[in-house]
Every structure is written in structure tokens, then in C-alpha cells.
Amino acid sequence: MSMHAFASRGDALKFAGVTAKFTIVLTSPGGQEPPPTGFAAVLPDEIKWQPEAGLPGVQVAILLRDPDKQVPIVTRVKLPPNTNVMPHTHPTARTYTVLAGEWKLGFGEKFEPEKLRTFPAGSVYRLPAEVPHFQATGEEGALIQIESIGPPRTDYLKPPDDPRKE
């Protein structure tokens, strides 16, 4: 509704105030409708970080997933400064968002630091399935979010490079 429908600017502001109060009442916690089927959310204080096997200082949090189904999954990973992740692939495409720090990506079957591309905080990229790649963090480390189709899997190209093996 435009201001022209009101007799004065004051009437328009009064209408806006009443509308805002009405909106607050309708959306207050006591008046919320239940979320639709399939809705999922994780608040910051609900994130449960776990150490990543074989990668010292790396922590992982699975935010959204159904472990029994091939459905979207959202994971966050905290990596310490100057971490190198050896060449590997994933069976499904992944979207990476750099939330903090510096994340680096290179393509190929051999870890070659000169091939690393730098992605600062705020960057997003999509990595196709089955593409051999390697990664690293900068001086600050990195916090990244990964979206893919689960269950997640990482296949290292050379078994000795797999940090999960004893």
C-alpha cells in the first residue's frame, strides 16, 4: 500500500507500527506453526565437533544428514594452519564454502604446491565427482563447509597417503 492511500504521513506511520506489532505477534515463538516435514536446522551451540581420524588438529561436524539414505549432507571442517591434504577423490560432487581462513585447492594425482589456487573466506566452489585433487590451508588455518550427497567418502589415490590408516 502506498503512502498516497493515507491522509497524512502520520497516518501511514501509525499503520506501519500497527502492522509491525501484528506481525511480531503472529511470528512470536508461542504462535509458530510446526515446520514442514523434512525441515532440519542446527543452531551454533548444537554443533558437535569430533576429531578427524589420522589428521592431527582437524575437527569435523556433520550438521545435516540421514546416515541411512543417499540424501544431501552438510559438513563443517576446521583445519589448523599449514595443513596438507594429499590427492584424493570423492564419488559425488561437492560444494565448498570457505567460512574463515584460507583454503587452497589443486588438481592432479600428485601434491604440487605450485598448483594450489587460493580461496579466501567468503569463497564458494563446486568440485565435480571423481576429480583427483589435493588441498591445503594457509597461515590461519581454515573453516570450511561442504555440501554433498551422502554418505560421504574420500578415496586417497595412494594408500600410504590415507591418514586414516594405521
Summarised one tens digit per residue, pLDDT across range 63-100 is 998 766 888 999 999 999 999 999 999 999 999 999 99
| Residue 110: band (very low, low, confident or very high) from pLDDT cuts 50, 70, 90 | very high
How many domains is the chain partitioned into structurally? Answer: 2
Q: What percent of the chain has pLDDT over 90?
A: 65
Looking at the structure, do residues 53 and 87 belong to the same domain, yes or no?
yes
CA distances (Å), origin 146, targets 29, 34, 36, 73, 94: 31, 28, 24, 8, 6
Domain membership flag for residue 135: yes
pLDDT of res. 120: 98
Looking at the structure, do residues 50 and 125 belong to the same domain, yes or no?
yes
Q: Over the stretch 8-44, which tens digit does the pLDDT of each residue have?
A: 555 544 444 443 433 344 444 567 899 998 888 999 9
pLDDT of res. 82: 96
Looking at the structure, do residues 26 and 108 belong to the same domain, yes or no?
no
Upstream peptide bond of 51 is cis (omega within 30 degrees of 0)? no
Domain that holds residue 6: 1-33
Q: What's the mean per-residue pLDDT of the chain?
A: 85
Looking at the structure, do residues 85 and 20 belong to the same domain, yes or no?
no
Residue in 157, 33, 42, 64 with CA at minimum distance from that of residue 106: 157
- B/e letters for 40-58, b = 16+ CB within 10 Å, e = fewer, are eeeeeeeeeeeebeebeeb
Domain membership flag for residue 39: no
Higher pLDDT, 152 or 83: 83
pLDDT of res. 21: 39
Looking at the structure, do residues 23 and 51 belong to the same domain, yes or no?
no
